[in-house]
Amino acid sequence: MIEEIILGGLLYNEEYMRKVIPFLKDEYFDNKEQKNLFVTITEFIKKYNTLPTKNEIEYVIDSSTSLNTEEEKELLNLYHNIQYDEKTNEDWLLDKTEKFCQDKALYNAIRQSILVLDDNQNKLDKGSIPKILQDALGISFDTNVGHDFIENYEDRYDFYHRKEERIPFDIDIFNDITKGGLPKKSLNIIMSGTGVGKTLAMCHFAASHLMFGKNILYITLEMAEERIAERIDANLIDMSIDDIHKMPKDVFEKKINRLKSKSPGKLIIKEYPTASAGSANFRYLMNELKIKKNFQPDIIFIDYLNICISSRLKNSNNINSYTYIKAIAEELRGLAVEFEIPIVSATQVNRSGFTSSDIGLEDVSESFGLPATADFMFALISTEELESLNQIMVKQLKNRWGDPNYYKRFVIGIDRSRMRLYNTEQSAQDDIIDDRPVMDKSSFGERWDEQEKDSYMPKKFNKKTIFSGFA
């Protein structure tokens, strides 16, 4: 039996033991004696960090207070019958042990899922079943115990010079701050108030990525599929939505065929009712698209995150918004990692942010766990002055690929009738200054700007100068 072979390896092969001990669990052993022996071995290893000797195992079993006399006898008998051939191929044994863990984990996950369906585990929702099964199917031995800073310098050097595949923007400054576009396995969030342009921005980026030849999946939980398609049509055809409604069918068909000839990419728009779908639904949709349409997206847009549901947690009075929204964000980021694609979504600002002309992370609605999970996050800010110039301000809030203070704020052009964003002249950025300290927002800061700052700064640290006036 494979269980006895594994137990033999744990008892007599230290190198094998150290590779597999993090992955083996007592719940994988159905036989009571085998489970007890496994627990005895692992507890000894965890305490003394070495393989137990024959005398040590026998003493531990004999002195156990949790076993009766008959159980001690059976356990000692099993131990004495365990044999290990030193000529056993370790790679073969590792493969068999990995398969053993995968099979047992899947079996246990199916049993747990049945209990969830029978409502015997109230803490878990039925939507958690795909995650339970996914975790079981994801069991894999990872024998890498970390990066050796000195010994693995060549791997590190290759990583520094490896060109990461990214999904580029058609807005130059976005490519600049993200070092070439959105990388795979990332969650990217657009934040703004109602009506400022979250959906417009996502529709624009979806349209531009389509023209780059990418496959796009646009999931909407707010608007109808046709309304999203309408906005993307306006962007790609370069006409206002009103004009599209007046266009003859043959002209419209000709323009769509022209777009088709320019780009090999595909765009799928899928609508879900508000607050009815989450990462489990999106995963199922992607698998269906792969099977039925041979479609695999290069990037996903989800409009928008706060009206998704968690596939792990029930949304009830017992769960606060911080925990629930953070769970949704973590699941979507996990989906991005699983399918190796970037995901772009959006969130609303809170009440104070709605009237603010300088949105910050503190203005995110419902949960600060969202920016904690996101890889790239920026705010869209609109004022009457910017609207008159057909511009919208972008403020970086979080950027894992660059310094968010580099072009912390910048403006881009916006054409709301055509649902389009565009590059502005460099001169449009000249009046946006982000090098003022936070204290400059006060009256002291205004006085500070009027005088020569250097005259106030001591050339060297001097206690008497710095703390003069303090008793």
Query: Rounded to an integer, what distance in angstroms lies between the CA atom of residue 265 and that of residue 213?
Result: 4
How far apart are the C-alpha atoms of 203 and 346, rounded to whole Å?
Answer: 12
* Distance (Å, whole) CA 52 – CA 46: 11
Place of tokens 């969650």: 187
- Cα maximum dimension of the chain: 91
137-154 confidence digits (pLDDT tens): 777 776 566 788 888 889
DSSP-assigned letters across all residues of 142-203: -------TTTTHHHHHHHHH----EE--SSHHHHHHTTSSEESSEEEEEEE-TTSSHHHHHH
pLDDT tens-digit map of 312-334: 887 776 788 888 999 999 999 99
Range ranked top by mean pLDDT from 74-78, 113-117, 186-190, 195-199: 186-190
Q: Which domains does the chain have, with CATH numbers?
A: 2-137 (1.10.860), 166-429 (3.40.50.300)
Average pLDDT taken over every residue of the chain: 85
- Find the range with the poorest average confidence among 10-14, 267-271, 338-342: 10-14
How, if at all, do strands 391-399 and 409-415 pair? Answer: antiparallel
Please compute the mean of the pLDDT values over residues 151-163 and round it to a whole number.
Answer: 84
**Quick one: average pLDDT of 398-421?**
92
DSSP secondary structure letters along 232-276: HHHHHHTS-HHHHHHS-HHHHHHHHHHHHHH----EEEEE--TTS
Percentage with pLDDT > 70 across the chain = 89
Q: How far apart are CA 231 and CA 212, in angstroms?
A: 18
Mean pLDDT of 57-85: 86
Report which of 364, 284, 292 is spatially closest to residue 321, judged by C-alpha positions: 364
pLDDT of residue 388: 92
pLDDT score, position 112: 84
Over residues 36-52, mean pLDDT: 90
pLDDT at 464 over 50: no
- Mean pLDDT check: name the lowest of 139-148, 260-269, 373-382: 139-148
Tokens of 183: 């990388």
pLDDT given at position 122 = 57
Mean pLDDT score, 51-74: 86
* Per-residue model confidence (pLDDT) at position 120: 60
pLDDT of residue 457: 41
From CA 230, how far away is CA 258, in angstroms rounded?
A: 17
Which residues, listed in sequence order, are joined to residue 153 by a DSSP beta bridge? none
- Write out pLDDT tens, residues 166-221: 999 999 999 999 999 999 999 999 999 888 999 999 999 999 999 999 999 999 99
- pLDDT of 249 higher than 90: yes
User: Would you place residue 246 in the very low, low, confident or very high pLDDT band (cuts 50, 70, 90)?
Assistant: very high
